[in-house]
């Protein structure tokens, strides 16, 4: 072919248009792009599928496996603090999506604990529900267990936790103390890792495989550098599509080192050896700052490295309830909605 200048121009134009089309199709959910379309990017495509799958699973869950007695089968302990929300409860979908894709063996290595922090506990819509009893290992409540607790999963825990100090009604104080109970429970259980999960997320189908893979990488890196590692599962929101289309940003292990928490981590994972320190931090005053903020300082003071799974394995489906009414949370994981039942549609 004889490439004259007009032909080259035409080729260039076509290539440019093709690139524009790809960018357009690929950037509707990137807030830093001019092609960003808010309504479409907040559409719950994948998370709605996952919620539906959770409902199906919880309608008839398989019988529970006996808890492992040997230490080496205690891989994860998951703690979920929950309070009743006035508009909508997400707890069922959080729990359902965490367990519905696990094999019996994988589920056997996980201890799942929920704290229903309302007082009285029956104010929580999940209290006494059959599905809850069937799928979780422990339900912590601040008052007496329901009469019909056949699975014996409910356990009453003390409300007053710090000697010589009456528990106040501040939001931060109560969140911190609720979290400290879950850290304590999992520390005593003795699992290798503790994961704190908020009660308004849904998990992707492959969250567990991705977590295991990421952990393998992060532990190897941590040991290699002789540094203890504080590992976090974390949300990345915004500035997503640049890393999505940049092949050099792609990793096989799916983990990134984080410089800052930023805010609002919906799921945090800690190795066992960090739990005594994290426990003290959560339990004792001053209660000026929420847990994720003080953890940031803690990690800095102790020279701990933090890692994030990227793309995130959780979506934050909750609403923030403000005086102006409920609205979509600011922490939204755009990439999550691109996941398809069979993997990813575009990019990584």
Ligand X SMILES: *[C@@H]1O[C@H](CO)[C@@H](O)[C@H](O)[C@H]1NC(C)=O
**Closest approach of ligand X to the CB of residue 199, in Å:** 11
Q: CB-wise, 127 or 235, nearer to ligand X?
A: 127
Tokens 């799916």, located at residue: 254
Q: CB-wise, 89 or 243, nearer to ligand X?
A: 89
Question: DSSP state, 137?
Answer: S
**Closest approach of ligand X to the CB of residue 178, in Å:** 17
| Site for ligand X contains 319 (CB under 6 A) | no
**Closest approach of ligand X to the CB of residue 155, in Å:** 22
Q: CB-wise, 96 or 311, nearer to ligand X?
A: 96
Alpha helices in the chain (DSSP H): 5-27, 38-41, 46-59, 91-99, 104-108, 130-135, 171-189, 207-224, 241-245, 275-283, 291-301
Burial of 326: CB neighbours in 10 Å, binned 0-12, 13-18, 19+: middle
Please, which of residues 195-234 interact with ligand X by CB under 6 A?
Answer: none
Compute the residue count for the chain. 348
The 52-91 site mask, x for binding ligand X (CB under 6 A), equals --------------------------------xxx-xx--
| Site for ligand X contains 44 (CB under 6 A) | no
Enumerate residues 6+ apart whose C-beta is below 8 A from 43.
Answer: 337
| Site for ligand X contains 123 (CB under 6 A) | yes
**Closest approach of ligand X to the CB of residue 125, in Å:** 4
Secondary structure (3-state) at 273: helix
Give the residue nearest to ligand X (CB): 89
Q: How far apart are CA 57 and CA 47, in angstroms?
A: 15
Give the binding-site size for ligand X (rule: CB under 6 A).
7
Q: CB-wise, 125 or 219, nearer to ligand X?
A: 125
Structure tokens at 305: 């490295």
Q: CB-wise, 83 or 102, nearer to ligand X?
A: 83
Q: How far apart are CA 142 and CA 133, in angstroms?
A: 17
Q: How far apart are CA 326 and CA 44, in angstroms?
A: 17
**Closest approach of ligand X to the CB of residue 202, in Å:** 16
**177: number of Cβ within 10 Å:** 22
Q: CB-wise, 127 or 193, nearer to ligand X?
A: 127
Residue from the set 125, 209, 219, 320 that interacts with ligand X by CB under 6 A: 125
**Closest approach of ligand X to the CB of residue 302, in Å:** 39
Contacting positions for ligand X (CB under 6 A) = 84-86, 88-89, 123, 125
């Amino acid at each position: 072919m004889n490439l004259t200048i007009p032909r080259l121009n035409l080729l260039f134009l076509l290539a440019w248009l093709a690139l524009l089309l790809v960018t357009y199709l690929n950037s509707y959910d990137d807030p830093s792009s001019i092609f960003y379309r808010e309504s479409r990017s907040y559409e719950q495509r994948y998370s709605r599928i996952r919620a539906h799958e959770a409902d199906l699973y919880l309608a008839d869950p398989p019988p529970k496996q006996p808890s492992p007695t040997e230490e080496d089968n205690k891989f994860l302990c998951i703690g979920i603090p929950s309070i009743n929300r006035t508009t909508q409860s997400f707890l069922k979908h959080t729990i359902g999506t965490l367990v519905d894709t696990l094999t019996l063996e994988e589920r056997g290595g996980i201890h799942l604990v929920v704290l229903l922090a309302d007082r009285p506990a029956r104010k929580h819509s999940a209290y006494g529900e059959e599905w809850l009893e069937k799928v979780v290992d422990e339900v912590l409540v601040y008052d007496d267990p329901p009469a019909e607790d056949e699975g014996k999963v409910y356990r009453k825990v003390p409300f007053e936790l710090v000697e010589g100090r009456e528990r106040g009604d501040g939001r931060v104080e109560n969140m911190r103390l609720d979290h400290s109970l879950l850290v304590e429970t999992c520390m005593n259980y003795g699992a290798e890792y503790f994961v704190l999960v908020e009660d308004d997320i849904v998990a992707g189908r492959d969250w567990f495989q991705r977590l295991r893979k990421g952990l393998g990488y992060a532990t190897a890196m941590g040991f290699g550098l002789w540094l203890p590692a504080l590992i976090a599962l974390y949300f990345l929101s915004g500035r997503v599509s640049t890393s999505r289309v940049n092949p050099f940003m792609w990793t096989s292990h799916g983990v990134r080192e984080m410089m800052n928490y930023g805010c609002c981590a919906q799921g945090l994972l800690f190795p066992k050896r960090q739990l005594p320190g994290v426990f003290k931090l959560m339990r004792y005053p001053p209660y000026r700052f929420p847990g994720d903020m003080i953890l940031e300082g803690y990690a800095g003071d102790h020279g701990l490295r933090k890692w994030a799974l990227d793309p995130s394995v959780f979506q934050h489906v909750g609403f923030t309830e403000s005086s102006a009414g409920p609205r979509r949370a600011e922490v939204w994981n755009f990439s999550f909605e691109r996941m398809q039942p069979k993997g990813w549609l575009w990019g990584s």
